[in-house]
Amino acid sequence: MYLAISSDMVIHVPKIPLFEYYVEKLGAEPGFFGDWEVPMRFTGSIDEHMAVRTSVGLFDVSHMGRVLLKGPDVVTLAQYIYTKDMSKVKPGFMSGPTLALNEWARVKDDEMLYKVSDEEWLLVPNALVREKMISYIRSVISSRNYKVEVEDLTHKYSMLALQGPRAVEVMESLGAKWAGDLKPLEFRLNEEVAGVKVFLVSRSGWTGEDGFEIWGEHGELRRLIDLFIARGVKPAGLIARDTLRIEMGFVLGDHEYGEDPSKFPCALALRYGMGAITWSKKGFVGEEALRACRREGLRWVRVGLKMGKEAGRLFPRTGSRVFVEDIDVGWVTSGCYSPVLNRGIAMAYIDTRYAVLGEEVLVDVHGRRLSAKIVDFPFIEK
């Protein structure tokens, strides 16, 4: 329904910078993610998902934050805020994902840092918490008298993710021979791809496939998108991005983690992996609670649920309860249809006493209790 508003009222609807281009030229269906209006899908989420798994797809991930941290105390700041040892990151590399905790060892955000040099880092916070994280970082800087400047580059650059087994081939066909030489998590600044100026290219992504994330000015990236599409790259929307990350067992804020201790277990229960926590590191926010959680042992743990064959393609939704016989043992945090497995899959927190890999549980799907198997991540073989 249209809202009737008088002409002197302005409703601010933030859109990612190239939004109109996706909707008008590429036929994207719009939707909302956090504060942003984004393309949800182009031709179909299943096609887009499979293109990323078997060929190559392109996401616009400009809804995520892009932040510059600059000054002599950046490493000290990062060591204080994040669970990973940031002193080991080499220049020209990303840190790998790490966690910013609150004092209850609940997760504020999972983030990636990029080390340009000792005193210059880039940071990608998630869309939903970008502004909250920036003000949190600023408050830490001021209360601890760190010499760090924070600049929000989110609106200055767009951010694309070229993902899939053909990603290297596509970059090389555009003259970026160096792209294939980048190691996982390595990045380069101020490059050119087929005459298009890009600010940053990294060998990274959030789909479980090989690929690149590219930052650049909006008009420049718009030209790059056309070049990608001419080479058979499939534009993909945020629904496919969500099903791809669920197949990999990657977490999402407000689903698998959040700050509220009454809703989310401690960060350890996430089983985040990827070296996000460095136990030998001391003095980070939430450390005391995190160690207490480690010593006491976990009440809940995140596991995968793979729906049984009888469920067809049905899958449980966020909040669906999980049962062993008639006992309520946990809840679903994310679920979707897995195009690769042709089966419903989900992530759930389960009471650790019942969290036995390979065992069967029942999960509520539209009011029926259907059989599912407890499995590890990722759901698909990689």
Partner 1 sequence: MSDVLVKVKGKEYIVKTDRRYTQTDEWAKLEGGVVIVGITDYAQKELKDIVAVELPQIGRVLKKGEEVGMIDSVKATSPYYAPLSGKVVEVNKDLEASPELLNKDPYGKGWIIKIEPVDPREYESLLTPEAYAEKIQKGVH
Site pattern 360..379 for partner 1 (x: CB under 8 A) = ------x-------------
Q: Give the up-direction half-sphere exposure of residue 72: CA atoms within 13 A in the CB hemisphere.
A: 3
- Whether residue 201 contacts residue 214, with contact meaning beta carbons closer than 8 Å, is answered with yes
CB of 256 to partner 1, least distance (A): 16
Q: Rank residues 239 and 277 by Cβ distance to partner 1 and give the closer one.
A: 239
- Closest approach, Cβ 363 to partner 1, in A, equals 14
Q: Name which of 45 and 98 has its Cβ closer to partner 1.
A: 45
Q: By CB under 8 A, name the one of 18, 22, 41, 176 that touches partner 1.
A: 41
45 part of the interface to partner 1, by CB under 8 A:
yes
Q: Does 313 bind partner 1 (CB under 8 A)?
A: yes
Residue placing its CB nearer to partner 1 in the complex, 199 or 337: 337
> Rule CB under 8 A: is residue 317 a binding residue for partner 1?
yes
Q: Which of 32, 44, 103, 175 binds partner 1 (CB under 8 A)?
A: 44
Mask: binding to partner 1, 339-358, rule CB under 8 A, as x and -? x-------------------
By the rule CB under 8 A, 1 interacts with partner 1: yes
In the complex with partner 1, the residue whose CB is nearer, 164 or 339, is 339
Shortest distance in whole angstroms from residue 48 CB to partner 1: 10
Interface with partner 1: number of residues (CB under 8 A): 18
- The single residue among 13, 312, 319, 327 that binds partner 1, judged by CB under 8 A, is 312
Q: Which is nearer to partner 1, 46 or 150 (CB)?
A: 46
Write down the least CB distance from residue 336 to partner 1, Å: 6
- 320 touching partner 1, by CB under 8 A: no
Segment near partner 1 (CB under 8 A); pick from 152-160, 185-193, 331-339, 347-355: 331-339
Residue 319 in the binding site for partner 1 (CB under 8 A): no
Bridge partners for 324 per DSSP: 327
Distance CA 14, CA 363 (A): 37
Distance CA 53, CA 72 (A): 42
Q: Which residues, numbered 234-293, are part of the site for partner 1 (CB under 8 A)?
A: 239, 242-243
Site string for partner 1, 184-223 (x = CB under 8 A): ----------------------------------------
The 3 state secondary structure assigned to the chain is CCCCCCCCCCCCCCECCCHHHHHHHCCCEEEEECCEEEEEECCCHHHHHHHHHHCCEEEECCCCCCEEEECCCHHHHHHHHECCCHHHCCCCEECCCEEEECCCCCEEEEEEEEEEECCEEEEECCHHHHHHHHHHHHHHHHHCCCCCEEEECCCCCEEEEEECCCHHHHHHHCCCHHHHHCCCCEEEEEEEECCEEEEEEECCCCCCCCEEEEEECHHHHHHHHHHHHHCCCEECCHHHHHHHHHHHCCCCECCCECCCCCCCCCHHHHCCCCCCCCCCCCCCCCHHHHHHHHHHCCCEEEEEEEECHHHCCCCCCCCCEEEECCEEEEEEEEEEEECCCCEEEEEEEEEHHHCCCCCEEEEEECCEEEEEEEECCCCCCC
Residue 336 binding partner 1, by CB under 8 A: yes
Q: Which is nearer to partner 1, 2 or 9 (CB)?
A: 2
Query: Is the CB of residue 96 less than 8 Å from the CB of residue 112?
Result: yes
* Smallest gap from residue 342 Cβ to partner 1 (A): 9
Q: How far is CA 153 from CA 54, 166, 214, in A?
A: 33, 29, 14
Cβ proximity to partner 1: between 218 and 317 the closer is 317
Q: Which residues bind partner 1 (CB under 8 A)?
A: 1-2, 41, 44-46, 239, 242-243, 312-315, 317, 336-337, 339, 366
